[in-house]
Structure 1
Amino acid sequence: MPDDQTSSGAQSPRVGGYLEFGFTAVTTATLIALTAGFGFVSILSIHVGFGLSVDAWWLSVLQAHGHAQLIGWLGLFIVGVSLYFVPRLTGVPLPRPTVVPLTVGLLFVGVVGQSVAGLGVDRGFGPSVIGASGVMTLVATVLYVGTALHVILRASEQRAALHIVCPLLAAALGYGVINAVVSVEAARAGQAVVDIAWNRNAVDVFFCFISYGNSTCDYGRLERWVASPKPRRVSTPHDPGCPIEGSSVGSNWRFTWPTAGWVWVPSWTFSPASSWRLVFRCRRTATLTVISTWPVSWRHFCSGWSRV
């Protein structure tokens, strides 16, 4: 019967061509939240509250806790629920239902790997595990974003309302890329702790994915700054004629562009009434931060105003 179909392999039952709701992702998300999520933060809180010694494992476990909460709890929950509702809202069934358990499995293994790396920081296997977990998380993110975009973009014009979530999916992909790069780089450096600044930037990008409010305030306003009048040319140690000035604080760095006063700032904004539109604003500032790895710079970069 057309309303009682079964996908290849009889692993994913389908009703009316749509995948039935699977509790695997939600159950796995809850399990991770109760173990690596809340469990790790309990250990960290006890050490702080009772003044116990904090060793090299502290930061590694702290990052593992954050990764478990973001990807294991929120991420898996979003994947399981969205891939059930989005096909029904768009009227387009999933092309390959097996992508759901594959994505859930890769995310789960990635979170477990990050947790193991946090606990094994003093045992030598942390760096290699954290690098592999970052790659698996990226593969899972690509599968999820690709599947969601395939379903959304194939919807009819009468069901095209979900097109507004495409930038949010781009934020999810951005998180996967940043997380994979910093994880692999940490593995190459023999560390079980990823770069703190880029890890914060990745978290901010992930928040753009899960929150409409953040997407309209941060991600939806990624700006390319255009200075008017023409910026003054200043000397730098690398290029005497380059107007870009670089500075660094520890492992963090930033590039600033000097201006002559007023700066025209074009920004993309989103509203349900007008969709995406380009808005120009004029501000007065001496310099603009073009890009920075400072942990608090991402929101300032996305909002068009740097306080670094």
Structure 2
Amino acid sequence: MGALKLDGGLATKAADNKKVGTPNGEFAMTEADFKAIARMLYEDAGIFLAETKSTFVYSRLSKRLRVHGLNSFAEYCELVGNKNNTEERMAMLAALTTNVTHFFRENHHFEHLKSTFLPPLLDAAKRGGRVRIWSAGCSIGHEPYSIAMTILSMLPDAGRYDVRILASDIDPNVVATGRAGVYGESALASIPAEMRRKFFRSAGGRSRDGEAEFEVVDAMRSIVAFRELNLNGSWPMKGQFDAIFCRNVTIYFDQKTREKVWERFCEKLRAGGYLYVGHSERLSGPALSAMAYDANTSYRKKG
């Protein structure tokens, strides 16, 4: 990804004041505005914006300008540049974060859980053992609930044991959606029919699109906990995880940030634990010395 170089030489004043391409010209946006927004996104979340993303930024943030009655992106940059305005800063982050997800996405990871990884863990849980799985970058909850369905299909009373899934994301809006656990009928299309019947019930309402809504059952809620967490900030969790899912998240980071996150994941995994990454991601940096590539974008911690 051609990332914006935020720490390079100073651009000329004329270049910074140059207008960038916008869809309809409703709001003025200069290269300086784009760079300021990109810099704040990097500072807050470690995410790089490519130089070609000006139209994306314009379309995603125009709504925020309308909400505040602003006339230009320069005014918006002044608004979010105030670090005391954490609410709008988070709204900007949420608007610029793409959340593409569905239940059982990249299903080979869940097949690996079911066939290889979970059986000995769940047997140990029935004897008093501890099972911890982390869905890092959980978006609106499809991934952690897919993990939960996999576990509950093997151990229906998992909630009675020390089996827990941590679901975290930097965006408070998607965390709230995941915690609510309510989805339109079309969102359940990728879930096998038997699982849909077992793990979802009617929520009694309809979505904005007129779809019937369904909510996760209590057995799912009992083993999944949602939390706001910045992967480039502090991690307050104690103890290690048996498995970590972080798929299609680090593609938005630069190489240095990506390798640091991999290294921290490695430290949070127990020996023999698994890290599941996205189809276009590959581990690099210090973490490689402690992790062994297993198969299908899965890495096992050595030891």
Give your verdict on TM over 0.5: no
Higher relative contact order (CA 8 A, sep 6+): 2
More helix by share: 1
Scaled to the shorter chain, the TM-score interval is: under 0.3
> Which protein shows a greater Rg?
1
